[in-house]
Structure 1
């Protein structure tokens, strides 16, 4: 029996070690990991510079509380503000907590209560972030949701215009919907949406929990469209697998988060921050990010060429090293088949295969993954065709 609540449909894989892009299970089988803990281990498993920083911090102290000054918090906050173009940071423990803080900050700063989000969005599983999520399946069974959230279709400017009113505190969105199917906001629409929010006196919250920290080839995905957010949420890849989340915001919002207005016991933990500083030192380097974009183009091009004739493959989606393969049928069996061949991938929605390799993945590892993936997709497609 298991002593865990059955909240996850767990795979039959028990890891015992991992390094770089590779994971080994308790049976000694090695897997090429293109999940990276769902866009968390952006430098692969156990990167040496991050391990060194964590080991050093473990030898100093593990926790004090946020009543104390922290040079390390200031240093990581500066890394995030420099990379985002914003001014101030609040540290939490996760993406959901970061989005929760963003919602609270927007409501308090504006004195308004309504938040507009997009259909198929995903912002977390707390009550506020669950209410912000534009997917009914996330909310099933939990009773009435928190009020004053409204959902509109992505890339529908007319619907968005109708949703704004004098009570709208913020527009909240992902540039690319990570869990909702890798649906991307069109650049012109996103620019118009931000302008519309600001015209209505509403704040713009951009959820970069999955798309941020170099995943799309820039520090944050909103920078591809030259957007001007008021608040950005971040987590996942920020600390190479140690728990950390953050919101980054404009200095004009400082008064709304005055002493006693919000807090976190473990947010900004020194061990997680040591990991974050080392992680961001690597990822926020211009040359490193250029290589991410180049690798993303290589991976997409190889997949496009190899899968263009497979009828079950509709199109590729995503940006940088956040890539989706949209199928004409459910994706889950393909994920299982790839895993049996030694490649770990994910779904996004029901019909998307999602690839989230380490940002420092090698050309050889990309080629290995593509070979396994193409073999898997073609074999699955052939078996289904033959079965009919």
Structure 2
């Protein structure tokens, strides 16, 4: 989940990316140079019936695709000079003449302009990617491997490689009542889904710290979802009745034998231990945003969680991943098999890697939905005294 800003150079002859590099040095210019030499050699060593010197117009065009502006302009001039010298070496009645000269000159100018447009577009895309990365770090902020007494690991895979961020979210919030975990998936795509995820995470980070009861945190999340929907509707955005499935997990400070879980219509967590895998009971609460149809406020359930057991939480990008025949990815079966082969798979980092690799193999690398894999377990030997006190907790 690491991602940083992309460097953008202000030098026109140093494009944002260099497709061909050797030991860090750009060598893209070698390709048009070899093409130039090949055309000249072939034209000189063939008969007058096979004049290809006018093909030299391809040289600045090739440079425009992979080099900088000044390099492309240099190849445009070099191609024109090579054309003049090679064409003059033939008898006058075999020369390509003025029409091809104009063609090569015009081709060089157009190639240089096309290169400038390409570089400007690339720089614009890099700026946009920086904005997307900033959004991603807000929704999916990088967590320390051991945070607030919880060892954790996560991976996020976007179904849209250009977007790089969707409606999936996760976070851990430390607090005086124990760390709380929040993992979910906002219905829909686009910036609207991202904005909803940001709103929910903001409420979670405050409520999970201040509220003693996990059910109270859940109620505030439901309220925030409804407020956000009314807000977007008031702005005239046609996003419909957006909702979010999510799992809210609380790790009580002084009771390590169980966790509290509120499941808002999400995939139930899986408890993974070196000795085996077990599915936790599915939640009975409706997704966030549908509380008006529920028979009461959200309820927190106590679930036993043994020492060394890891909670595996995934979004439907994993459970609904299909192969070429339409079969769903057998998550529990694959995790059980991996743990049986290597008990160390129960460790969060290894578990996340196994699920990520299995999902990609199952789908052939073609994800139909954004995919989040999150694994968390208590740090062995960690004591409640290490909980930061109220007012001194880092954000």
Q: RCO higher in 1 or 2 (8 Å CA, sep ≥ 6)?
A: 1
Q: Which has the larger radius of gyration?
A: 2
Give TM-score, length-normalised by structure 1: 0.25
Give TM-score, length-normalised by structure 2: 0.24
